[in-house]
Chains A and B, each alone.
Chain A
Amino acid sequence: MRPIFSFVLTFIISLAANYIIISSGYWYLEIISGAVFSALFCRSTALGFISTLLSGIFAALIYVYPLIQIGAMNILNVTGKIAGINGSILFAIMLLISGLLPASGALIAIPLKIQFYKKQK
């Protein structure tokens, strides 16, 4: 599969999976989602990392968008004030965590998959 296709495929499937995972509340499961789908469709660690990172970020963004429209930024700003952090930075951290969880799964899974195939050969 051409790298661009594997990138897009990983991104789309991970995005859907991450959205479902976020909806369930078990955020950490994104690690497994990133690992599984990057390992399935990507041969390049870099591509897998980027596609799952973006899928996690966009999944969170799509999930919280309706909440942003009804005042989630107010809540984040207040929480940020209490914690001494800007609300926008908290928002960015939320997206980053949501991206890094599957991306870290990808970083582990893809090299292991490559080694596994090497061994098979």
Chain B
Amino acid sequence: MKFKKKDVISVVLGALMILLILTIGSVTPLVSLLNPESGVVQNSKNLIYKNQTIKIPGLYDQVTVIQDKNGIYHIYASNDHDLFLALGYIQAKNRLFQMEVFALTGLGNLSSWLGSSFNLYDRFWTLTGGPLTAENDWQSVLLNASVNSIDAQTVVALEAYSQGINDYIAYAKANNLLPITFKLLSVQPFNWTPLDSFAVQEVMASSLEFGDDALLFSMLYNKLGNSVYQLIPTFSPVPQYYYAGYNGELNQYVLKVSENTYPVNQTVAGLAYQVAKMWDPPSWVVNAHVPENSNEWVVSGNRSATGKPILVGGPVLSFSLPAIWFQVQLVDPNYDVYGVMLPGAPAIIIGFNNHIAWTLTDTEAISWGTFFWMQEVKGNNYYWKGSWYPVKSYHINGIRVNWTNLGPIMAQNGSAALVMTWMGNKISNDLGVLLRIMNISNWEQFRTALESWYVPYQNFAFADNNTIADISAGYYPVFNSTNGLPYNPSAIMPGNGVEYISGSIPYNMIAQIVNPASGFIVSSNQRQVGPSYPYWYGNTMSFSAGFRAMMEFNYLNTHDNYTINDMEELQSKNYTDYEAATTVPYIIRYLSNSSNSTVQEALSYLKNWNYNMNENSKAATIWFFTYELLFNETFIPYLYSHGFLPDYKDLFYPSGLGGSWPDTQGLPSLDEDMAYMIEKGNASPFSNETMSYLLQEAVVRTMDYVQEEYPNGNFTWGHFYGFYFPSLLGISAISVGPLSRGGDYNTPNDASGGGPESNWPSGGQSWIMVVNLKNISDSFGVYPGGQSEDPASPLYANYIDYWMNGTYLPLYYINSSGAFPRSLIMDTIIMLPGDGS
């Protein structure tokens, strides 16, 4: 048999084509992505919003799910099991990839999906104890469910919720509807369990109450000695608003503890550096870089135009698309609650029901609930109070994690081990507390439920028809020492047993207030208690600098008859920088005699400024850059001269306004110091130069810079400031922004960022909500994002424009599906018990 040449060519060409397609299909996801039956085009079926009836395994009864015209889901069930099962199904339908990424983050197993570049982060997170604690939390809930009603409630909710998620996974797999991110990454979803929800809870706890400030403090103390107390004072040198009072005489014991820092040697400082370097997670990890900028306030009926309380919530978190929040109303015989929840954790975190409303901000107290000890460890034993005890080892994610009595060993050099006590590792069921809060009806029940809340430390603002309150719930440890005076817990402590945690601040002594005479409460991450508070409560390092809280306090204190609209305007459109308002008059005074024409030009702007960081303000730009440059001139040479910089430059290089300069870090203490120095007129002990000289230098450099950048003189603030909304995995093609908007680090709408190189914030008020207790159905809110994680969906980023404009959407709170007006319905899903078809 002899082949003709053209036949040979044909066969070879055909074989090559097959080989080429097979090769492309095996080394890239292209062929599977484009497969018409199982590839991405199938996901278009998820873009249709229409009425449908579906059968779902595990349901006991019919559930009606209404998606309102804004995309918000309202779930109506006849029992708790069905309610949470339907919630799991609906959440998975909209956020499955995000939920599973959160769970993998919490389990220390991100690299299984995203590759070996996440090995280091997985290792760090596994070391901290997060995955172990998630498991312990869930086991504890299971164990206590028969005797503890909160735990019993949690088991019902989490098991049904998990089944709902898995029902959707089965449906999506069978119908090739897995989110396109799964298809792009060529990964398959794993079946959800309640443990995954606890893993999500651990991630959130770490995002909100977990910090390495104590390591930084020890490194600073190592270089600066006692001067560190001037850099990082225990109490702010500028006036603060403490919502829970204690404004009296400074408690000397607390001050002595704060200024009794355990000296560490170079070996320990090296370990601290090593651990602090591990600390930064990938930027897109859930709220990886949470700024201390959240807002909450509640006003009483006698100060509001409605005659009833108004509650305002604005938690600041890192932005992502899909957003961190999922908005929903849950209705059954036990619940009728509306609000936002985390994908993966089936409890409304901020919201309201028929009787009460609540919102949260971080307390940022007590060194973020994270403490470090220098403990001696030899072989498999650690030293404690004169004896040696065996280290407990766990093998998690292929990593050996060693624990002493104080917590996980984070780093070790010889027998010197740096051990961490993180309150997030205390076994607790905070998720269950949130489930409990969802269906209670008054302040006493609310306060009682929060007694079981451990971490993250949160200020829970509360309102019902007649009560306004706030309580900073959490497990706040009390430190003691066999030597009398304990060492400063905001730094590394000796872990030999001399210093120890002797208990926690009693519940009736934690910061709280009910119906204050002022008629309002503001709790926007500022320190909650004043200098006479009898317990050690942390230093200025972690709390917000307090300028935002002061602005909000001043507004509420000087106005009356607040309307819902007033509250929205204050939360979203008030760009008053309180720090500028208090310091710019001094700046003008110091520079008014300058003969420098550039300085006089800058002053001409500042003199006519209303301290609003508006997009079109040039004075705002001058203030920002002048402040930043003044900050640099003051602190950077000081830190260099004391040897902190450049040794730790890659770890901590500060800039003003919460680290608003590119590639720098913020420290509230330094902003408070700066404001104080401007007011008193000199920069000692950090600089020998006069304030006038430093300011003149800063102003001239500012004007040179802005005129160089904008020779036409159009250096308005909007060119330097706005927001960026990155996609979950940081893919720029499906991110949104940057978008110009007014504000800065000290205004309510905001997080730190701004300035040159498009260093625009990718964090801010992640949910803005104003609840009207006069008529709860007349409440408003929006978050910057959308309900769907599908970037092709019209509900992916549809709320961003509203958020950017400060426009709130009505929160349709409708108690039964039958009462839902047709004009407000986008689509209705009837869920029936069945086989998943």
Question: Which chain A residues have a beta carbon within 8 Å of chain B's beta carbons?
Answer: 22-25, 27-28, 31, 45, 60, 63-64, 67-68, 70-72, 74-79, 81-82, 84, 90, 93-94, 97-98, 100-101, 103-108, 110-112, 114-115, 118-119
Task: From B32-40, B435-443, B617-625, give the one contacting chain A.
Answer: B32-40
C-alpha spacing A94/B42, complex, angstroms: 13
**Residues in B neighbouring A63, C-beta threshold 8 A:** 36-37
C-alpha spacing A67/B180, complex, angstroms: 15
**Residues in B neighbouring A108, C-beta threshold 8 A:** 10-11, 14-15, 18
C-alpha spacing A82/B729, complex, angstroms: 11
C-alpha spacing A63/B15, complex, angstroms: 26
C-alpha spacing A31/B20, complex, angstroms: 13
**Residues in B neighbouring A112, C-beta threshold 8 A:** 11
Shortest Cβ distance from residue B814 to the other chain A in the assembled complex, whole angstroms: 29
- 3 smallest beta-carbon distances between A and B, as pairs: A107-B14, A111-B7, A108-B14
Question: Could you list some 23 contacts between A and B, CB below 8 A?
Answer: A27-B35, A28-B21, A31-B18, A67-B42, A70-B45, A71-B44, A72-B41, A76-B41, A78-B733, A79-B33, A79-B180, A82-B731, A93-B30, A94-B34, A97-B34, A100-B21, A101-B18, A105-B18, A107-B17, A108-B15, A111-B3, A111-B4, A115-B1
B36–A115 CB distance below 8 A: no
C-alpha spacing A72/B45, complex, angstroms: 8
Residues 749-774 of chain B, each 1 if its beta carbon lies under 8 Å from chain A, else 0: 00000000000000000000000000
By beta carbon, the residue of chain A nearest B48 is A70
C-alpha spacing A32/B35, complex, angstroms: 17
By beta carbon, the residue of chain A nearest B39 is A94
A64–B41 CB distance below 8 A: yes
A98–B36 CB distance below 8 A: yes
C-alpha spacing A72/B44, complex, angstroms: 5
B180–A75 CB distance below 8 A: yes
**Residues in B neighbouring A68, C-beta threshold 8 A:** 41, 44
C-alpha spacing A68/B413, complex, angstroms: 62
Partner of B40, one of A25, A76, A101, A104: A76
Residues 1-28 of chain B, each 1 if its beta carbon lies under 8 Å from chain A, else 0: 1011011101101110110011001000
C-alpha spacing A24/B35, complex, angstroms: 11
A77–B792 CB distance below 8 A: yes
Partner of A25, one of B13, B33, B34, B176: B176
Known contacts A78-B791, A112-B11; is-contact A104 B1 (Cβ 8 Å): no
Shortest Cβ distance from residue B621 to the other chain A in the assembled complex, whole angstroms: 33
**Residues in A neighbouring B6, C-beta threshold 8 A:** 45, 111
**Residues in A neighbouring B37, C-beta threshold 8 A:** 22-25, 27, 63
**Residues in B neighbouring A74, C-beta threshold 8 A:** 44, 47, 792
B7–A75 CB distance below 8 A: no
**Residues in B neighbouring A93, C-beta threshold 8 A:** 30, 34
Shortest Cβ distance from residue A56 to the other chain B in the assembled complex, whole angstroms: 11
C-alpha spacing A24/B47, complex, angstroms: 23
C-alpha spacing A81/B792, complex, angstroms: 11
Residues 75-116 of chain B, each 1 if its beta carbon lies under 8 Å from chain A, else 0: 000000000000000000000000000000000000000000
Shortest Cβ distance from residue A27 to the other chain B in the assembled complex, whole angstroms: 5
A115–B3 CB distance below 8 A: yes
A67–B45 CB distance below 8 A: yes
Shortest Cβ distance from residue B38 to the other chain A in the assembled complex, whole angstroms: 5
Known contacts A45-B7, A81-B733, A108-B14; is-contact A75 B43 (Cβ 8 Å): yes
Interface centre among A77, A81, A84, A105 (most CB of B within 10 A): A81
A82–B734 CB distance below 8 A: yes
**Residues in A neighbouring B10, C-beta threshold 8 A:** 45, 107-108, 110-111
C-alpha spacing A63/B47, complex, angstroms: 18
A106–B7 CB distance below 8 A: no
Q: Any chain A CB within 8 A of the CB of B152?
A: no
**Residues in A neighbouring B42, C-beta threshold 8 A:** 67
Shortest Cβ distance from residue B186 to the other chain A in the assembled complex, whole angstroms: 13
**Residues in B neighbouring A94, C-beta threshold 8 A:** 34, 36, 39, 41
B36–A22 CB distance below 8 A: yes
Shortest Cβ distance from residue A22 to the other chain B in the assembled complex, whole angstroms: 5
**Residues in A neighbouring B14, C-beta threshold 8 A:** 103-108
Shortest Cβ distance from residue B173 to the other chain A in the assembled complex, whole angstroms: 12
C-alpha spacing A106/B40, complex, angstroms: 28
By beta carbon, the residue of chain B nearest A79 is B40
C-alpha spacing A84/B734, complex, angstroms: 11
**Residues in A neighbouring B264, C-beta threshold 8 A:** none
CB within 8 Å of A: which B41-83 residues? 41-45, 47-48
Shortest Cβ distance from residue A60 to the other chain B in the assembled complex, whole angstroms: 5
B7–A97 CB distance below 8 A: no
**Residues in A neighbouring B48, C-beta threshold 8 A:** 70-71
By beta carbon, the residue of chain A nearest B19 is A104
Partner of A79, one of B1, B3, B35, B184: B184
Known contacts A72-B41, A75-B792, A81-B734; is-contact A119 B1 (Cβ 8 Å): yes
Q: Any chain A CB within 8 A of the CB of B700?
A: no
A25–B35 CB distance below 8 A: yes
A71–B792 CB distance below 8 A: yes
C-alpha spacing A108/B38, complex, angstroms: 27
Q: Any chain A CB within 8 A of the CB of B31?
A: yes
C-alpha spacing A31/B17, complex, angstroms: 10
**Residues in B neighbouring A78, C-beta threshold 8 A:** 180, 733-734, 791-792
Shortest Cβ distance from residue B182 to the other chain A in the assembled complex, whole angstroms: 12
By beta carbon, the residue of chain A nearest B733 is A81
Interface centre among A24, A84, A97, A98 (most CB of B within 10 A): A97
Residues 790-813 of chain B, each 1 if its beta carbon lies under 8 Å from chain A, else 0: 011000000000000000000000
B17–A103 CB distance below 8 A: yes
B7–A115 CB distance below 8 A: yes
Shortest Cβ distance from residue B745 to the other chain A in the assembled complex, whole angstroms: 32
**Residues in A neighbouring B47, C-beta threshold 8 A:** 70-71, 74-75
B11–A67 CB distance below 8 A: no
**Residues in B neighbouring A24, C-beta threshold 8 A:** 37
Interface centre among A63, A76, A103, A110 (most CB of B within 10 A): A76
B1–A118 CB distance below 8 A: yes
B184–A101 CB distance below 8 A: no
Shortest Cβ distance from residue A69 to the other chain B in the assembled complex, whole angstroms: 9
C-alpha spacing A19/B14, complex, angstroms: 21
**Residues in A neighbouring B18, C-beta threshold 8 A:** 31, 101, 104-105, 108
C-alpha spacing A112/B10, complex, angstroms: 10
Shortest Cβ distance from residue B218 to the other chain A in the assembled complex, whole angstroms: 44
**Residues in A neighbouring B4, C-beta threshold 8 A:** 111
Interface centre among B10, B17, B45 (most CB of A within 10 A): B10
